[in-house]
Amino acid sequence: MTHYDDLTYSVYLDAELEPGVAREVRAHLAVCPACREKLRELEKVHLRLAAALGEVALPASLLAAPERTEPVPGLRWVSVLATGLASAGLYLVVSFVSRLFSLEPLEWLNLASMDGFFQFFFEPLRRFIEEDWMKRWIDWAGMGALGLLLASLFYYLRRIRLPARMALVSLALLIMLGAASPAGAVELRRRHGSYTLPANEVVHGDLLIGARDIRIDGTIEGDLISFSRSVTVNGTVKGDLIAFAREIRVNGTVSDDLRGFAQNITIEGNVGKHVTAFCQKLEISDKSQVGSNVYGFAAEVRVNGHLLRDLVLYAEETVLAGQVDGSVRIQGHRLNVASSARIPGKLFYRGYGKPVVDSGAQIGTLDFVQIVRKPRYTQPRFYLKQAIRYVGALLLAALLIWLVPRPLQRVVANVGSLGRGAGLGLLLAVSIPVAAVILMITMVGLPIGLIMGGLYAVLLYAGHIFAGTWLGAKVLSRPEGNLASVGAAAVGLLIYRLSKFIPYVGPLVTLVAAVVGLGAICFEIYSHLRPRAALPSAPAATASM
């Protein structure tokens, strides 16, 4: 005779066994006194549980009318939203005021320009590092904003599961470590006004400097990371030079990489490895040499020196007058290859204007692809592109509706309740790119920064799909079923796509949709990270229920 196990009897007493199994159990109980005894014991436990988990006396205070439940609706969300907005606002005010004191008060308006971007994000950071006591109150305000920002982030942290929290904290620590000291031996120097490392002085390790103007005449054995108005290397940096500045100038030697975010980058000396430049103007002068590839994102590039490897440029105007031993790839508006140019390899140029090649210039092979520029509205390709994008977004929406209907519903619902997640979205929309950029300038953080940037792009893209689906559902007023949801997505995304044709309104719609969608997604993720009844998975049960 086979007996049933305790679990089966427990489920049996709960009347949750499948009818067939329950019948078999009953039949077994009829003939097995041992199991009957076992069941009686279990019944006693049931009785006790039922008695203990019975009704309890209600406190008089609760019996009173439910005025106590008169809510301050979403107080927490309001406070978080307010904190986020206050931080952002404070940051903007601080940036604005600090710019009023700086020399070019109008530059910050042009956020789209490289310099404006640089100014917007890094000027306050530079000011903090630079010891400038006349404007120190700005630093304090900036720190206050940062504190508020952290506080609101912490608010979220506090309410999520421990492992997730640990992961976030360790990530933050990693970021801080990566940002502060990849090699572990960082010297931090802050100077009011200018800083000069004298010619006979050697820094053993890395150097992080914030100052108005920086001049390195001596030797740095590690990396030099600088935030300044200008940085000039006359001596030697044996590691990398990572610089945020208006003016970066290398007259001496940088043995490893040069990574510059600046208005002007001028290389008169030697760079041992790669050069990565985000700038207005990049100049590699005729006495200089770069040991490895040069990547440039700039308005104006002049290459007179000797590049031992490849040259890759996105530049409006390029003048090649030096020697490039590897291949050259350029996309831009104008290219001039001067007579002194020596490019034995391949030169690929994709641009609006034909390249001008002076006689005497030596080029291995020249590939030129012309970009034809017409107003985009007159090109059929533009409409085709829009249609493809629309269909792509719609397909993705349909796929999501098919694969994960319930999470999708929740995210779309989050879009509807605007407050929910919009603050979070705004916070993340601003903080993710900043964090990613900061990560990318450090060696340790580069891959994480890249992943973060990629994820950000994906989330922003997904954001518009959710926002569009919400809009469509609003228009169709509560569609039922998956097919109707796809229909809603089709309508909403079409409205979204068409709104992009309207000048001024289009970009605004794009921005709002992305931020609100991002917030809705992140809120959903966040609500999953929040503690729920996290019960461990049970071992394989033998009972059939």
Partner 1 sequence: MAKAEEQAMLSPAERDEAIQKAQRGDASAFAALYRGYVRRIFGVCYHMLGSPADAEDATSEVFVKVRAGLAGYSLAQPFEGWLYRVAVNHCVDWLRRRKGERMVFSDTDPAEAVAKDESPGALAEMVTEEETTAVRRILQEMPARLRIPLVMRFYNEMSYDEIARTLDMNRRTVGVMIFRGKRELARRLRAQALQRRQAAT
Nearest approach in angstroms of CB 46 to partner 1 is 7
Q: Which of 19, 20, 33, 54 binds partner 1 (CB under 8 A)?
A: 54
Bridge partners for 247 per DSSP = 230, 264
Q: Which of 34, 57, 112, 134 binds partner 1 (CB under 8 A)?
A: 57
Residue 56 makes contact with partner 1 by CB under 8 A: yes
Nearest approach in angstroms of CB 56 to partner 1 is 5
Where does residue 455 fall: left (phi above 0), alpha (psi -120 to 50 degrees), or beta otherwise? alpha
Nearest approach in angstroms of CB 541 to partner 1 is 5
Q: Which parts of 506-545 interact with partner 1 (CB under 8 A)? A: 530-539, 541, 543, 545
Reading the block at residue 248, the tokens are 């970066």
Give the single-character DSSP code of 102: S
Nearest approach in angstroms of CB 406 to partner 1 is 12
Stretch that binds partner 1, among 56-64, 98-106, 238-246, 297-305 (CB under 8 A): 56-64
Q: Which parts of 23-52 interact with partner 1 (CB under 8 A)? A: 41-42, 45-52
Nearest approach in angstroms of CB 435 to partner 1 is 28
Distance of CA 398 to the CA centre of its chain: 26
Stretch that binds partner 1, among 5-13, 242-250, 360-368, 382-390 (CB under 8 A): 5-13
C-beta of 16 vs 367, nearer to partner 1: 16
Measured between alpha carbons, how far is 75 from 73 in angstroms, rounded to an integer? 5
C-beta of 46 vs 192, nearer to partner 1: 46
C-beta of 454 vs 531, nearer to partner 1: 531
Question: What distances in angstroms separate CA 310 from CA 319, 361, 513, 543, one per listed residue?
Answer: 15, 18, 40, 68
Q: Which parts of 411-450 interact with partner 1 (CB under 8 A)? A: 413
Measured between alpha carbons, how far is 352 from 346 in angstroms, rounded to an integer? 19
Measured between alpha carbons, how far is 302 from 283 in angstroms, rounded to an integer? 5
Residue 18 makes contact with partner 1 by CB under 8 A: no
Q: What is the number of other CB atoms lying within 10 angstroms of the CB of residue 271?
A: 27
Give the single-character DSSP code of 130: S
Measured between alpha carbons, how far is 419 from 82 in angstroms, rounded to an integer? 11
Stretch that binds partner 1, among 10-18, 83-91, 122-130, 301-309 (CB under 8 A): 10-18
Q: What is the number of other CB atoms lying within 10 angstroms of the CB of residue 129?
A: 20
C-beta of 159 vs 212, nearer to partner 1: 159
Q: Which of 3, 7, 184, 354 binds partner 1 (CB under 8 A)?
A: 7
Q: Which parts of 59-78 interact with partner 1 (CB under 8 A)? A: 59, 61-63, 65-66, 68-71, 73-74
Measured between alpha carbons, how far is 233 from 376 in angstroms, rounded to an integer? 45
Pure H helices in 107-224: 114-129, 136-158, 162-180
Reading the block at residue 457, the tokens are 């792009």
Cβ atoms 293, 276 nearer than 8 A: no
The DSSP bridge pattern shows strands 253-254 and 311-320 to be: unpaired
Q: Which parts of 356-395 interact with partner 1 (CB under 8 A)? A: none
- In single-letter form, the type of residue at position 541 comes to A
Nearest approach in angstroms of CB 458 to partner 1 is 26
Where does residue 478 fall: left (phi above 0), alpha (psi -120 to 50 degrees), or beta otherwise? left
Cβ atoms 206, 187 nearer than 8 A: yes
Nearest approach in angstroms of CB 61 to partner 1 is 7
Q: Is the dihedral of CA 427, 429, 430, 431 positive or negative?
A: positive
Nearest approach in angstroms of CB 414 to partner 1 is 11
C-beta of 40 vs 374, nearer to partner 1: 40
Q: Which of 31, 53, 372, 403 binds partner 1 (CB under 8 A)?
A: 53
**CB-based burial of residue 93 (10 Å sphere; 0-12 exposed, 13-18 middle, 19+ buried)?**
middle
Residues 322, 323, 329, 332, Cα dihedral to 10°: 0
- Tell me the three state secondary structure of residue 362: strand
Measured between alpha carbons, how far is 37 from 246 in angstroms, rounded to an integer? 87
C-beta of 359 vs 537, nearer to partner 1: 537
- Tell me the three state secondary structure of residue 77: helix
C-beta of 79 vs 339, nearer to partner 1: 79
Nearest approach in angstroms of CB 528 to partner 1 is 10
Stretch that binds partner 1, among 8-16, 86-94, 174-182, 346-354 (CB under 8 A): 8-16
C-beta of 33 vs 73, nearer to partner 1: 73
Nearest approach in angstroms of CB 11 to partner 1 is 5
Nearest approach in angstroms of CB 493 to partner 1 is 24
Nearest approach in angstroms of CB 443 to partner 1 is 37
Binding interface with partner 1 (CB under 8 A): 6-7, 10-11, 14, 16, 41-42, 45-59, 61-63, 65-66, 68-71, 73-74, 413, 530-539, 541, 543, 545
